[in-house]
Amino acid sequence: MKQSVHCCRLTRMAYGGPEEFMDATERELMSKGGALPTDMFKKARAKDQSPTNQESGGLQDRLQSELLDSELYKEKWDFLLKRLKEGTSYKGFLNVDFHDAGENSLGYAIGGGQLRYQYKKGPPPTLELRLKDTYDFTKKGHAWGRLQDKGYLVTYGVNVFIEKIPCPEAAAAK
């Protein structure tokens, strides 16, 4: 099995005004006098390039290895193959909850996310997995919080591409 892994992206702030990044729902909320959407500034920040793994202090590497080694990840992988065999759609996502992760793991700080998948018939059949969500680390002290204070946004996009594997169970899916 060949695995090529790209891990979490952190993007830098560069924006001209928050309204530019609001969607219709957020504009409506603001027009009603509600609080400004919390993710508005995240969207604003998500315009620039992400820093390197070195800039994040190696957090990306740590998160990647923690995720790939976790029982949770293996469980989701098996479950996904089973569902593909039963005929589920080739593209979709599984909800992942990290609450059973160790308290000191980064996954525990993340809380949860969507493990997105895309199965391609090939040949050879391939299954592409990607874990992505947008999180808030505004509380002081957390390593990612300090990066966020500098204008980087933690988007936690762990991309796991699993290529050129036989995937026999999935191959039986319609």
Partner 1 sequence: MMRMDLRFINYCRHAPFMGIVIVLLLTGCNRISLKDFNVSDKKEITKNVVLHRTSGSDVTLTDADGVGLVYGNVKRIGFEADRKDYLLVAFEPFSDSSANSTLPTLEVSRIELSSGKAASISDRDGSIAKSLQTVDSFF
Q: State yes or no: residue 166 binds partner 1 (CB under 8 A).
A: no
* Nearer to partner 1 (CB atom), residue 22 or residue 166: 22
Indicate the SS3 state at residue 4: strand
Q: State yes or no: residue 31 binds partner 1 (CB under 8 A).
A: no
Q: State yes or no: residue 61 binds partner 1 (CB under 8 A).
A: no
Specify which residues 127 forms β-bridges with: 119, 162
Given its phi and psi angles, is residue 82 left (phi above 0), alpha (psi -120 to 50 degrees) or beta?
A: alpha
* Nearer to partner 1 (CB atom), residue 134 or residue 171: 134
Using alpha carbons, select from 120, 128, 107 the residue that is nearest to residue 3. Answer: 128
Q: Residue 160 CA to chain centroid, in angstroms?
A: 10
Beta carbons within 10 angstroms of residue 122's beta carbon: 12
Binding map of partner 1 across residues 63-102, x = CB under 8 A, - = no contact: ----------------x---x----x--xxxxxxxxx---
Beta carbons within 10 angstroms of residue 46's beta carbon: 20
* Nearer to partner 1 (CB atom), residue 68 or residue 142: 142
* Nearer to partner 1 (CB atom), residue 19 or residue 166: 19
Among 39, 55, 61, 169, binds partner 1 (CB under 8 A): 39
Indicate the SS3 state at residue 105: coil
Q: State yes or no: residue 24 binds partner 1 (CB under 8 A).
A: yes
What's the longest Cα–Cα distance across the chain?
55
Among 25, 31, 52, 54, binds partner 1 (CB under 8 A): 25
* Nearer to partner 1 (CB atom), residue 40 or residue 167: 40
Q: What is the dihedral of CA 20, 22, 23, 29, to 10 degrees?
A: -140
Q: Which residues of this protein are in contact with partner 1, per CB under 8 A? A: 9, 11, 21, 23-25, 28-29, 37-39, 42, 46-47, 79, 83, 88, 91-99, 103-106, 108-114, 116, 118, 130, 132-137, 139, 141-142
